[in-house]
Amino acid sequence: MLTFFEWLTVISFLLSSYLSLNKIYNSRVRVDIDNVSIHKGSNIFYLQFIINNRSSESAAITDVHISQKDNNAIAKAALYEKKIYYNINKTNGVANYKTEIVSNKLPVNLTPKSATTILLSFPLIEDELLKFNDGAAILDLKINGKHKTKEIYITSGKYLLEQLQKAATR
């Protein structure tokens, strides 16, 4: 028969093992990418998506690429902020305030157990932009050194740009 201290040792071992395994499981990078919208401009792509970090650890997006395999087109996200749209509200000819929408710059930090909307710009020279056709493409995000891919669809519609303009005029 086990003594009180031996039972206490067994219970402590089981509890510490459970907590260690739980910590390892929760610290894995678990992200979901939803609601991807893309706008193809004259010499730039704008990409907006929602990313949900379900991990208990913070994460960082350090690199983003869009590619289409059928025509060998690759675009890399800008490392700096890009002004997408701005609106100057005037009353009696005097500017009251200016609303700006700018893209996120890389790296983007993701707080634990939260969701964030990310807006990225992909500046391209015209020859590279012409390689991208409407249709399927691969979005590749590098998060904490690991790659996460998602299939997206490129369209020439201006839905994303119209939504950003509406947001800037509120």
* Residue 71 domain flag: yes
Q: What is the pLDDT of residue 100?
A: 79
Parallel/antiparallel/unpaired status of strands 146-154 and 73-76: unpaired
* Residue 132 resides in a domain: yes
- Structural domain boundaries, residue 101: 31-168
Query: Distance (Å, rounded) from C-alpha 60 to C-alpha 39?
Result: 24
Which pLDDT does position 160 carry in this prediction? 64
Q: Which pLDDT does position 50 carry in this prediction? A: 92
pLDDT at position 52: 92
The whole-number pLDDT of residue 132 equals 79
The total of structural domains in the chain comes to 1
- pLDDT tens digits for 40-95? 777 788 888 999 998 888 889 999 999 988 888 888 998 888 887 777 777 777 77
Residue-wise pLDDT for 16-45, tens only, equals 999 999 888 776 778 888 888 887 777 788
Residue type (1 letter), 169 = T
Cα–Cα distance measured from residue 71 to residue 18, given in angstroms and rounded to the nearest whole number: 50
Cis peptide preceding 107, ω within 30 of 0: yes
pTM of model > 0.85: no
Residue 100 belongs to some domain of the structure: yes
Q: Give the closest residue to 56 by CA, choosing from 23, 101, 80.
A: 23
CATH number at residue 90: 2.60.40.1890
**Mean residue pLDDT across the chain:** 83
